[in-house]
Structure 1
Amino acid sequence: MEEFELTLKPNLESYHEHEKNGLYTYGWSPDWQTAFDELELAEASPGRVIADHGHKYRIVTSRGEGWAELSGRIQHELGDRSAFPAVGDWIAVRFMAEGGNDGIIHGILPRASRISRRAAGSVPTEQMIAANVDVLLLVAALNLDFNLRRLERYLVMAWNSGANPVILLSKADLCDDPERYVRETESIAPGVPVIAVSAKEDQGREQLEALLRPGMTVALTGSSGAGKSTILNWLAGEEIQDTQEIREGDSRGRHTTTHRELFILPQGAVMIDTPGMRELGLWEDGGGWSEAFTDIEELGRNCRFADCRHEREEGCAVKAAVDSGELDPKRLENYRKTERELKYQASKEQVRQRNDRKGKGKKDARRGKGEERRRLTLERD
């Protein structure tokens, strides 16, 4: 993991230089200050969203914690719900009272990374999970619910986000041979660190804490019952999130965490805990799909035909790898399935955007006609 860790090293010198500013504890940096200054919002102060409660946000600023809402203007300008503040976003706030902590959000700084998925429903929409995450911990429990295909989907989401993925195989104390599962997981996650952990037996703490440097933002995601809140409490050294026992019959859990929230860890990093997901609908492909299946993509470069679909074509290197046992046929099947899903989602999104543009065009035309009628009325008068 040494090379991976080096790529995550924050500017600790800047951190220690400014650590008296409370926001640096939450990941603030000179780069974020530059981005904030570029907004050119008078009488605004920087802050970070630490919890999302729908239309109200728990925030932290140099004054401490408070509550905030979006200004009417920015709500209108943002339009799409996915552009609204998410946990981890850096924001520009104008306080409602002198010396008070509550305020109105008048700006959102450009996101360095965005963790999102497709929201449930027939209309394709993006649901934000967290923003400005440096390391995304994909948590999978070593029990009856362990599923490599599901992990592949989470990796697509992670690589699309811009964050660095790390896989945590939780509840290792329930497994007779966790190293076997580590090897299996490494086979479907080339280049991604895989750590077997057990909060009960304090296993894997040293490897995990190596990622929790001051100034880093780490997020937990995974299925319900995977043990995310337990990991957070374990690392924090106290019960800051409620936990529940999973069902013994099928190892499925319930949603203990009901909203996304950011916590400061004693190791110096901040961690975002998120509600468990029953299903993960993929949203957009910014190269994450190819990155998650990089081994198949590399095999495909050796196919006889450049446009090989890896089905029945002669000289297909991917099919040859399946026949020889080098590639798991279930992995190839998931490769195709997620490709179809992303293409279908992209086509639906294009239709939605086209319809939105048509609707906006009609609205602008009606507004223009109304203004013209008012002008002619004024001229007659």
Structure 2
Amino acid sequence: MHFSSTSTSAFSSSALPLPLAAYGWDADREAEFAPYAERGLLPGRVVRVDRGLCDVVTAAGVVRADTEFVVPRDPLKVVCTGDWVAVDPEDADPRYVRTLLTRRTAFVRSTSSKRSEGQILAANVDHAVVAMSLAVELDLGRVERFLALAWESGAQPVVVLTKADLVPDPVALSYLVEDVEASAPGVPVLTVCARDGDGVEELAALLDRGTSVLLGASGAGKSTLANALVGEDVMGVQATRDMDGKGRHTTTTRNLLPLPGGGVLIDTPGLRGVGLWDAGTGVGQVFSEIEEFARDCRFHDCAHESEPGCAVRAAVEDGELPTRRLESYHKLVRENQWIVAKSDARVRADVRQDWKRKQAAGRAAGEAKRGRGPWRPAPPR
């Protein structure tokens, strides 16, 4: 990243407040903040948000601030853990967050509501750490879903298989790693036993600069992993359930924690649902081998279902592409189209028209198979 050599900000590069430098403050942020410094506002990074209030780390320490002045209609522009903000000076009572600085990246998922809304989980993230527990059967489809959102956010994903001590057979463990690597092209895959410290040092080396967000389902061992990375018990941890070996839900808010080797970590609550949110590019990166095969399809808009000359289907038949990967690809593409269509009338019309074409083709194929000739709608009575 290029850093500007000069700045008009009240905070000079040579005298960057240590707390902010540790949290990711740099010369580019300093230059962006200059107009707010002239108004007497202070820079800070949001470390936690709770019901309209947030904790912000500033050069003077952590302060509590109200977000009333930055409550937008767009849910993707609300104050979030990881945001850089301008807050009122120390003598203000109450103190308010006055504005957000530009977000470089944002990790967003769709909400579970029927409305077309996204939910931002973390801002200004460089690494997205996807934690998957080896205490239960690996869900490769869930891995792919997390990775699609991670790539779309602009962050570099990393998959961490936690509780590796529960798979003592090294051969079995290597097979699990291979399965995940096949589902995560271009993504580092690490095995970790945070309780014993195995693999933690290697992960810490990947996260020693910038901001990382820790993602995963409840019980994936995120809080234990966060404690191991930070080097102290900063997050509460509960024992696993006796009935199935799963961990219990521990973290209830998103927290930003400085790492001893540099960089910061955002620990998030367990995610029950991981809905896509306009993640077409991310889906393409997760299934990069399918995108590669698709270049040789006869039709540029091939859906890789029943079209003639489909190179992707041919790769499945030749054993070059697992059927599960193509099925997962279709599922995420359809889901993403549906999410986009909810808020885009043009896309919604295209999806509806495509569905009608597929229905007509299916009926025609059924009639032809039964020897009844081309399908025609029944005449009105």
Length-normalised TM-score, structure 1: 0.83
The one-letter amino acid of 1:25's match is A
| Kept in 1: contact 2:36–2:42 (CA 8 A) | no
The one-letter amino acid of 1:219's match is V
1:48 aligned counterpart, secondary structure? strand
Q: CA deviation at 1:328?
A: 1.6
- 2:296 maps to which of 273, 297, 302: 302
Residue 161 (structure 1) aligned with residue 153 (structure 2): yes
Distance in 2 between residues matched to 1:19 and 1:282, nearest whole Å: 38
Instruction: Give the percent of matched residue pairs that are identical in Structure 1 and Structure 2.
Output: 40
The verdict on how the C-alpha distance between 1:10 and 1:226 changes in structure 2, with shifts beyond 3 A counting, is farther
**For residue 240 of structure 2, what is the aligned residue in structure 1?**
246
The answer for unaligned runs of 5 or more in structure 1 is: 1-8, 355-381
2:344 aligned counterpart, secondary structure? helix
Residue 292 (structure 1) aligned with residue 286 (structure 2): yes
1:95 aligned counterpart, secondary structure? coil
**For residue 67 of structure 1, what is the aligned residue in structure 2?**
64
2:300 aligned counterpart, secondary structure? coil
2:98 aligned counterpart, secondary structure? strand
**For residue 110 of structure 1, what is the aligned residue in structure 2?**
102
Residue 46 (structure 1) aligned with residue 30 (structure 2): no
- 1:179 maps to which of 157, 174, 181: 174
The verdict on how the C-alpha distance between 1:194 and 1:124 changes in structure 2, with shifts beyond 3 A counting, is same
Q: CA deviation at 1:35?
A: 1.8
Residue 23 (structure 1) aligned with residue 20 (structure 2): yes
Deviations along 1:312-353, one digit per CA (max 9) or x if unpaired, are 2222111122122221211111111111111111111236xx
The answer for unaligned runs of 5 or more in structure 2 is: 7-11, 349-381
The one-letter amino acid of 2:271's match is M
| Kept in 1: contact 2:127–2:207 (CA 8 A) | no
Q: CA deviation at 1:205?
A: 2.3
| Kept in 2: contact 1:94–1:103 (CA 8 A) | yes
**For residue 363 of structure 2, what is the aligned residue in structure 1?**
none
Q: CA deviation at 1:265?
A: 1.7
The verdict on how the C-alpha distance between 1:39 and 1:316 changes in structure 2, with shifts beyond 3 A counting, is farther
**For residue 352 of structure 2, what is the aligned residue in structure 1?**
none
Distance in 1 between residues matched to 2:311 and 2:198, nearest whole Å: 40
Q: CA deviation at 1:17?
A: 5.2
Moved more, 245-254 or 323-332: 245-254
The verdict on how the C-alpha distance between 1:285 and 1:193 changes in structure 2, with shifts beyond 3 A counting, is same
Distance in 2 between residues matched to 1:145 and 1:95, nearest whole Å: 51
Deviations along 1:201-235, one digit per CA (max 9) or x if unpaired, are 32212321212325x11110011111110001112
RMSD over equivalenced CA pairs, Å: 2.4
Residue 135 (structure 1) aligned with residue 100 (structure 2): no
| Kept in 1: contact 2:255–2:267 (CA 8 A) | yes
The one-letter amino acid of 1:203's match is D
Q: CA deviation at 1:39?
A: 5.4
The verdict on how the C-alpha distance between 1:150 and 1:258 changes in structure 2, with shifts beyond 3 A counting, is same
| Kept in 2: contact 1:111–1:132 (CA 8 A) | yes
Distance in 1 between residues matched to 2:138 and 2:272, nearest whole Å: 13
| Kept in 2: contact 1:308–1:316 (CA 8 A) | yes
Distance in 2 between residues matched to 1:240 and 1:104, nearest whole Å: 27
1:258 aligned counterpart, secondary structure? coil
1:36 aligned counterpart, secondary structure? helix
Distance in 1 between residues matched to 2:222 and 2:342, nearest whole Å: 33
Distance in 2 between residues matched to 1:350 and 1:307, nearest whole Å: 20
The verdict on how the C-alpha distance between 1:183 and 1:94 changes in structure 2, with shifts beyond 3 A counting, is same
**For residue 206 of structure 1, what is the aligned residue in structure 2?**
201
- Runs of 4+ in structure 1 off by over 4 angstroms are 13-20, 38-41
The one-letter amino acid of 2:152's match is N
The verdict on how the C-alpha distance between 1:228 and 1:110 changes in structure 2, with shifts beyond 3 A counting, is same
2:96 aligned counterpart, secondary structure? strand
Distance in 2 between residues matched to 1:250 and 1:325, nearest whole Å: 35
The verdict on how the C-alpha distance between 1:246 and 1:325 changes in structure 2, with shifts beyond 3 A counting, is farther
The verdict on how the C-alpha distance between 1:170 and 1:132 changes in structure 2, with shifts beyond 3 A counting, is same
Deviations along 1:283-335, one digit per CA (max 9) or x if unpaired, are 11251111111111111111122221111222211112212222121111111
